[in-house]
Amino acid sequence: MRGPVSELPLVFEAVCYAVGGTQILRSLDLTIAPGAPSAIIGPNGSGKTTLLRMAMGLLAPTSGRVTWGGQTDPAPRRRAILFQRPVMLRRTAAGNIAYALRQAGCPSARVAGRVEELLAQAGLSGLASRPARRLSGGEQQRLALARALARDPELLLLDEPTANLDPAATRAVEDIVRIAAQSGVKILMASHDLGQVRRLAGDVRFMSAGAMHESAPAAEFFQSAKSPEAQAFLRGDIVT
Amino acid sequence: MLESASAFHLILSGDPTLFAIVRLSLAVSLSAVLLAALVGLPLGGLLALTRFPGRDAVVVLINAFMGLPPVVVGLTVFLLLSRSGPLGSFGLLFTPTAMVIAQAVLITPIIAALTRQTVEDLWSEYRDEMNAMGVGPAQRLATLLYDARFSLVTAMLAGFGRAAAEVGAVMIVGGNIEGFTRTMTTAIALETSKGDLPLAMGLGAILLTLILLINSAAWGVRAIGERQAG
């Protein structure tokens, strides 16, 4: 399924995005290269979700440009996204993964085997024939993650992957993400959960009010964030 | 009271005339639903997914056509199929085929309008996931129709109910010919006017029972399907 075209580096060049006169992203520059997971943190409304949607090719910039492996074509080739509230297709858990596999061009003969592998990877083997919409929130999130991995992505975008999940479900999702990252999938995640960012991310980008304020290795960022906005955010001050 | 007893006797004795009428009615209405679904499901789905100048007007028109008067549909199909009409050479007037066509015309807007609404609602839910998976337009339509299948059963039932209950269109294009184009509704109208109330009541009872049975079966299939697939 992997094509010859690479999704990386993902590059944002002076990207602006506005809706109805409201500036969501402001002249944003960003380069995401292969390596450890990258995290984008920032307060609500800072533009994290918009950035991820643009990185997925679901939104076009108002100005500036986004490229994937040097290409400007936004059609997803080897990238996938996990939305904060993923939508389950009205099919079984296995049916959801099979659908994603077929869309990704997986040969029919291989679909059943890959479905089993991905369900096992997500710890959902026993729930293969359960209607996806009847699964618990944590199970749905793991299924959505397995469905995203069915695309055999080189770049996996995660939008608040564990918001509203309990600690056990959060750990299960993080384990899958960690394994995916170790197998070479580049993770770009938006998260409010600073503990999660510490656990998973190799580098951190801090944004607020649609602008990128800081970019640093995770350990360095948490130890000595440089921008006043990031320092305030880490202190727990209300940053808008 | 006596008439009710006679009606039940007709049903229980398996009166061949009565059952020939029932069979034809079912065959015509179910065929019309099938034909209307073949047009209405993709049409409704396409309307839900495409944007073009005048789309709103088309949507309003199809919604309005849900209330098409059966006699007007019957008259239009009659004019099309009559010997001097554009389709007269096919010799379909006063045949069950003409009745199927008339009923299909009547219920296609119902199926198309309900499908459009259902698919549009589902699309607003699925849009991001499907775009993220790079699903193309044809596959998108097929997926939405498939995933909305249990809701679309209701659209089909609405169409069947309308077809099975209407009398004006089939009367005009079928001619209510005994043993050939007589359906339950046209027979009820005729027998009532002739004063044969037992047959009219028997047919009425069967018609209501059949509609109830078909709706129950569809409900059961929908419930089982939803339990299995979500």
Where along chain A do its domains lie? 10-235
A90 CA: distance to closest CA in chain B (Å): 5
A59 CA: distance to closest CA in chain B (Å): 10
Within 8 A by CB and 6+ apart from A103, the residues are A151, B133, B134, B135, B139
- Please state, as a whole number, how many other Cβ atoms lie within 10 Å of the Cβ of residue B26: 17
A89 CA: distance to closest CA in chain B (Å): 7
> pLDDT of A129-165, one tens digit each?
999 999 999 999 999 999 999 999 999 999 999 988 8
Q: What one-character DSSP code corresponds to residue A216? A: E
- Please state, as a whole number, how many other Cβ atoms lie within 10 Å of the Cβ of residue B60: 11
Which amino acid is located at A125 in the chain?
Answer: S
Query: Chain A 31-90, CB below 8 Å of chain B: which residues?
Result: 53, 56, 58, 75-76, 80-81, 83, 86-90
Q: Is the pLDDT of residue B106 over 80?
A: yes
Residues of chain B in contact with residue A158, where contact means CB-CB under 8 angstroms, are: none
Domain that holds residue B217: 2-229
Average pLDDT in chain A: 93
Residues of chain B in contact with residue A53, where contact means CB-CB under 8 angstroms, are: 128
What value does the mean pLDDT take over residues B142-148?
Answer: 96
Chain B interface, mutation test: which of A85, A90, A143, most B Cβ atoms within 10 Å? A90
Q: Is the pLDDT of residue A2 over 50?
A: no
Least confident of A3-17, A64-78, A153-167, B149-163: A3-17
- Measured between CB atoms, does B138 come within 8 Å of chain A? no
User: Tokens 């069967």 map to which residue?
Assistant: B206
- Measured between CB atoms, does A122 come within 8 Å of chain B? no
Identify the pLDDT of residue B202: 83
| Of A187, A132, A183, A190, the residue nearest A161 (C-alpha) | A190
Q: How far apart are CA B188 and CA B197, in angstroms?
A: 8
What value does the mean pLDDT take over residues A87-98?
Answer: 96
Alpha helices in chain B (DSSP H): 2-12, 16-49, 55-65, 70-81, 96-132, 137-147, 149-165, 168-174, 184-194, 197-229
Identify the pLDDT of residue B17: 83
**Dihedral over alpha carbons A86, A61, A155, A104 (to 10 degrees):** 70
Q: How far apart are CA A12 and CA A14, in angstroms?
A: 6
Q: How far apart are CA B160 and CA B103, in angstroms?
A: 9
- Measured between CB atoms, does A104 come within 8 Å of chain B? yes
β-pair partners for A158: A82, A189
Identify the pLDDT of residue A32: 96
Identify the pLDDT of residue B230: 67
Residues of chain B in contact with residue A131, where contact means CB-CB under 8 angstroms, are: 226-230
What total of structural domains would you count in chain B?
Answer: 1
A137 CA: distance to closest CA in chain B (Å): 15
B132 CA: distance to closest CA in chain A (Å): 7
Contact A99 B229 (CB under 8 A): no
Q: How far apart are CA B12 and CA B153, in angstroms?
A: 31
Question: Between A and B, how many CB-CB pairs are < 8 A?
Answer: 53
Q: Is the pLDDT of residue A240 over 70?
A: no
**ipTM confidence score:** 0.89
Alpha helices in chain A (DSSP H): 48-56, 93-103, 108-121, 137-149, 167-182, 194-200, 218-224, 228-235
Q: Is the pLDDT of residue B1 over 70?
A: no
- Measured between CB atoms, does B137 come within 8 Å of chain A? no
Which amino acid is located at A60 in the chain?
Answer: A
- Sequence length of chain A is 240
DSSP secondary structure, B18-31, as one string: HHHHHHHHHHHHHH
> pLDDT of B158-180, one tens digit each?
999 999 999 999 999 999 999 99
What topology does CATH give the domain A10-235?
Rossmann fold (3.40.50)
Average pLDDT in chain B: 92
Contact B229 A76 (CB under 8 A): no
What value does the mean pLDDT take over residues B130-136?
Answer: 93
What value does the mean pLDDT take over residues A196-223?
Answer: 94
B120 CA: distance to closest CA in chain A (Å): 15
Chain A interface, mutation test: which of B118, B131, B152, most A Cβ atoms within 10 Å? B131
Q: What is the CATH number of the domain that holds B63?
A: 1.10.3720.10
